[in-house]
Amino acid sequence: MIRKLALAGLAFAVMAAPLTTPAFADKLDDIIASGKLRCAVVLDFPPMGSRDENNEPIGYDVDVCNDLAGVLGVEAEIVETPFPDRIPALVSGRVDVGVASTSDTLERAKTVGFSIPYFAFTNVVLTREGTGIDSYESLKGHKVGSVAGVFEGIALEASVNEWNDPDGSFRSYQSQADVFLALAQGQIDATVVTSTVASATVKSGAYDGLKVGGDAPYLVDYVGLITLRNEYGLLNYLNLFVNQQIRTGRYEELYRKWIGEGELPNLTVPGVYY
């Protein structure tokens, strides 16, 4: 009898276990429940992110954050985040997602999860009148610089090291604004930036004498929305959101608004299902 009672108790415990297991909410649930989506956005990277004359955040990435908040039914909060702080801001919990033109590198993917690409960049040389720089190869022997840790900065530094020219050097900076100021003041002779940033910077007239000095022979820079890598529910939602932005024509609408005419960047890798 005792043995039968023990077996009956064990069977009841097994059946009851699923009923008592707590349900864990993920980040997507937390965002919806909080009524707010905190987006890390770089605001010295026009036309992707900057501030208007009233100091309000504007740009392609700002609009993407607002769109994402809109479909989630929550309020968007733009958290200004310099390039080097994008991943630390996520890890520390200061933001929920990064809408910050973040290149999908394997090294970063060790820490954060990427959505499918929501934008893709090509790169050009940005230089100053009178430097004699008119191509990527002509950067040899010059002082160049870029923002620390970004795709184009890593590639540019690798080229400088490969050239091993004693007259050439590479300097890293904390923000894009610092790079442009150093370029305008003659501390460096050139940098490599996305074609969108180069065009916006030259047109702005904020820095005298800057010009495009040819294309940079880099791979297409695909960028994704980011969040913590274990937030599978949110990552799945971000992927579908990007998909919907393209299918509904919103991707093209934002591109025309912030970048202008020209062919839309292809967000797929040829021959590969991303």
What pLDDT is attached to residue 269?
86
What pLDDT is attached to residue 24?
58
What distance in Å separates the CA atoms of residue 193 and residue 147, rounded to the nearest whole number? Answer: 9
pTM across the whole model: 0.78
What distance in Å separates the CA atoms of residue 76 and residue 70, rounded to the nearest whole number? Answer: 8
Q: Contact 127/201 with Cβ under 8 angstroms?
A: no
What distance in Å separates the CA atoms of residue 189 and residue 158, rounded to the nearest whole number? Answer: 17
pLDDT at 44 over 70: yes
Give per-residue pLDDT as tens, 15-40. Answer: 554 554 455 569 999 999 999 999 99
Q: Contact 49/62 with Cβ under 8 angstroms?
A: yes
Q: Kindly report the average pLDDT of the chain as a whole number.
A: 90
Q: Contact 196/124 with Cβ under 8 angstroms?
A: no
pLDDT category of residue 249 using cuts at 50, 70 and 90: very high
The rounded percent of the chain whose pLDDT value lies above 90 is 76
HSE, side-chain direction, 13 A CA sphere, residue 91 = 10
User: Which of 45-49, 69-73, 187-191 shows the lowest per-residue confidence on average (mean pLDDT)?
Assistant: 45-49
> What domains, with CATH codes, occur in the chain?
28-121+221-258 (3.40.190.10), 123-215 (3.40.190.10)
273 or 53, higher pLDDT: 53
pLDDT at 77 over 50: yes
Give per-residue pLDDT as tens, 134-176. Answer: 999 999 999 999 999 888 999 999 999 999 999 999 999 999 8
Give per-residue pLDDT as tens, 183-207. Answer: 999 999 999 999 988 988 888 888 9
What distance in Å separates the CA atoms of residue 262 and residue 247, rounded to the nearest whole number? Answer: 19
What distance in Å separates the CA atoms of residue 92 and residue 164, rounded to the nearest whole number? Answer: 39
pLDDT at 47 over 50: yes
What distance in Å separates the CA atoms of residue 132 and residue 127, rounded to the nearest whole number? Answer: 9
